[in-house]
Structures are given as C-alpha cells and as structure tokens.
Amino acid sequence: MRKNFKTLLIICLMCSMSTAILNAQDTLKLNLKQAIEIGLSKSPTIKIADKQLERVDYSNKEKIAALYPNISASGSYQRALKKQRMFFSFPGMPANPDGIEVGQDNTFVGGISAQVPIISPTLWTTLKMNETDLQLANENARSSEIQLVNQITKAYYTILMMQDSYQVFDRSYRNTAESARIIADKFKLGGVSEFEWLRADVQLRNALSNTISAESAVAMSKLQLKTLMGIDLNVEIKLIGSLGDYEKSLFAEMLSVDANALNKNTDLKQLDLRMEQLQKSIEVQKSTWLPSLNASINYQYMSMANDDIALANYRWFPTSNAAISLSIPIFQGGAKHYKSKQLQLQTQEMNLQKVNLKKNLELQANIYIDNMKKSIEKIGSNKKGLEQAEKAVAISKKMYEVGAATYLDQSNSELALIQAGLSYNQSIFDFISAKADLEKILGKTIND
C-alpha cells in the first residue's frame, strides 16, 4: 500500500519538475488577437497568397507589353551547294543548252525588324481583364486570410477547452488522491475493508490516467496552433484567459450577428469576379470578328560573294522595307460562333451556381446562429449544474466522514462534478466555435 502511494508521489513530483523546467524557459504569452497577427505575418498560407498576387501583377504587365513594338535581330548564312541556271531561247540568240549559272557561293544576311499593332480589338479587350484578374487575386488572398483566421481562432479555443478540461480532471485527481489517502489510513487502522481501499486506489489511478491524457491533449493542441501560426514548434506558448472569460460577452455577440449579411462572403465575391471575367471573355470572343491592323519595318545588311573573292573585298549593301498588314476574318467554319455559345452557357451555369451557393450559405449561417442560441441555453443550465455538483461533492465528503454515505456515493458525486465541468466547458466552446464559423461565412477579417 505504501509502495503504491510512493509511486504516485514520484509521478506527481516528476510532473511538477517538468512543469518548472518549462516555466524556466522563454514562454510566449498570447491572446487571440496576438496569435492571429503572428499567423498572418508568418504563416506559409499567407506568403503563398502574396506570391500569387505578385504573379498576377507580372502577368498583367506581360499583357500590357503586347502594346509595345516587338523588336528582334536576325542573322543568317547560306551556302549554295548547287547554283541555279538560266536558259535563253529568244530568236536570233545562240542556243545555250547547258544554261548559265547565276548567284554567289556565299550569302550573309544580318538585320533588325520591328512589328507593332495599330488596331487590335482583341488585344485591347484582353487588357480590360487585367483589373478583374487583380481583384480576383486580392479576393483569393482575402479568402486565405479568412480561412487562416478561422483555423487559428478555433485552434486557440480548442486549447482553452483542453486546458479547462485538464483543470477539471486535475481537481478531480487531487480530490480523489486526498480521499484515497484518508481511506488508506483508515484501512491501516482497520476502519474500512480492503475492498473499500482497493476501489479507492483504482479510482485514483483512473483519475491520474485521465489527467495525463488531458495534459497530452493540451500539448497536441498547442502544436497544432503553432503550426498554423508558422512559428517554431519548440517555442513554448501560454494562452491568456479561459473559456469562462467569454461567457460575459455571449449575449452581446449574439445580438450583433446577422445571418443575411453575406455581402462580404469571399465565396460569393470570387464567384462574382469569375462571372465578370467570363463576361469579358465573351467580349474578347466578339472582338475576334473585327479586323486588325499591324505595321512592320525591316532593315538588313547583305553580302554575296564567291569563294575566290577575299573577305576584305566583300561588298555589303543594305535593304529595308516597311509594311502595313490588314487582317479581316471572314469564315472559320463556325468555330467562333460555337465558342460564343459555350461562353453564354457558362454564364447561365454560373448564375445558377450563385443562387445555389447563396442559399447554402444562408442555411449554414442560420444553423450556426441556432447552435449559438442553443449553446447559450446550455451554458446557463450547465453552469447551474456545475454549482450544484460542487455542492454535492462537498456534502458527500462530509456525509462519508460521519458514516452517513458510502464511498460509492462520494465517487458518484465526483464523477458528476467531472461531467458537469466538461459539459460547461463544451457548451462555451460550442458557442464560440459556431461564432468563428459564422464570421468566416460572413467574410469578416481581423480588421472588421
């Protein structure tokens, strides 16, 4: 019996020592706002969104570059392996059945050319999509921010719930340990049966197991939060406050929500921007029916010489030309017509998708609000139940001490206290978790 209590004492001492060592290290104390700010500055998710914005900016600049002249240089060398022959058959001229070789053995050409669009309806219409592309990239970045804020918020709340649950189990363990100590003393004096002592010892070990599991759950939850925040997993963090701190503002937060305020929902905004992109794609498709006008200029230096001429005697001469080309589309087998029909059908599909998406978002928002209302009712009931369970534990202890109750009665009251504490914590967590999901649907950011 003494050996069992010594083992438990050593385990508790080791836990205390490990806690002291952790406290001695640098600890990052965080509230929810600070955790979100760190996540928004260090999370890879946000950095990826920023890179996407930068990429879209470069893509738009690439499209604008098509308005400028396209200048290129070229050079070529041609060797005549077999020269052409000319034949004459005019009256009065001698016949030349073998012909006369024309041309030179070597031809060198170097030059520069430039092309620039003068009238290009398709290009101009495409450039109008740049602003929409940038808006969509910004909305995608905002969506990533909203998603990350939601994940960090719920991870933060999860840690608070795990910490409060740990406190429930730890308090139960300490109460159970004290009761087990008293029963062990009575057993030594012959005041209780061995069965009573064994039952108390088993309950103590179960309470210790629950406490260790709760402590492990806290550690795992912290690792998840640190991963979302993008900080070193070895950094020790400590969250400020508890779930009970949120109880005071529940009713005020409940009054401030509006399930119909979906004008900032990022999914709807992205769908609207994609519809705008599609509409401009239709305009681009229509512009392919229009003529286009392009200008070009070419300047070359050329030299032609046979092998028996020294390189220094090569004669170079320039050539240049300028041109304007007009392209008028007439018939492509109906491809453009069918392409336009496809884009129109896509527009109709996206309109239907928007209607369906909005209904689903309204449904989800109302579900979250209903869960928040139910959670408020549960919080009031569970808080009252927790107070009564605490009284029941105190009464059962006194009754057991005077012999008016059995140890089983005391154990049952302790289990009821654990359940009441966990239910109270869960009801608060359900409220703030539903609120976080509702804010995500409503498109709220940290600055709203």
Q: Per the structure block, which two tokens stand in for 373? A: 């209302």
In a domain, 87, yes or no: no
In a domain, 212, yes or no: yes
Question: Where do we find the tokens 């703030």?
Answer: 432
Crossing angle for the helix pair 129-188 and 2-24, to the nearest 10 degrees: 150
d(CA 171, CA 285): 71
Rg (CA), the chain: 41
Spatial CA neighbour of 350 closest among 263, 273, 255: 273
Considering its fold, how many domains does the chain have in total? Answer: 1
CB-count burial class (<10 Å; 0-12, 13-18, 19+) for 333: exposed
Q: Are 257 and 375 contacting, i.e. CB atoms less than 8 angstroms apart?
A: no
CATH number at 314 reads 1.20.1600.10
In a domain, 96, yes or no: no
Enter the DSSP assignment of 235. Answer: S
Amino acid at the residue 380: G
In a domain, 416, yes or no: yes
Please, what's the b/e burial string for 81-111 (b: 16 or more CB within 10 A of its CB; e: otherwise)? eeeeeeeeeeeeeeeeeeeeeeebebebeeb
Query: Which domain, by its residues, includes 138?
Result: 35-77+105-441
Give SS3 for 251. Answer: helix
Q: For every one of its 448 residues, what pLDDT tens digit does the chain have, with 9 covering 90 and above?
A: 434 434 443 444 344 444 443 344 578 999 999 999 999 999 898 889 889 989 999 999 988 998 899 999 999 999 988 888 877 766 666 666 777 888 888 999 999 999 999 999 988 988 888 889 999 999 999 999 999 999 999 999 999 999 999 999 999 899 889 888 888 888 888 878 888 888 888 988 999 999 999 999 999 999 999 999 999 999 999 998 888 888 877 766 666 666 567 888 999 999 999 999 999 999 998 898 899 999 999 999 999 888 888 777 788 899 999 999 999 988 888 888 888 889 999 999 999 999 999 999 999 999 999 999 899 999 999 999 999 999 998 898 888 777 777 778 888 888 999 999 999 999 999 999 999 999 999 988 877 6
d(CA 248, CA 244): 8
Q: Are 266 and 281 contacting, i.e. CB atoms less than 8 angstroms apart?
A: no
Beta bridge partners of 186: none
Question: Where do we find the tokens 């129109």?
Answer: 344
Q: Per the structure block, which two tokens stand in for 346? A: 């896509």
In a domain, 9, yes or no: no
- List, in order, residues 6 or more apart from 200 with CB less than 8 Å away: 176, 179, 180, 183, 184, 407
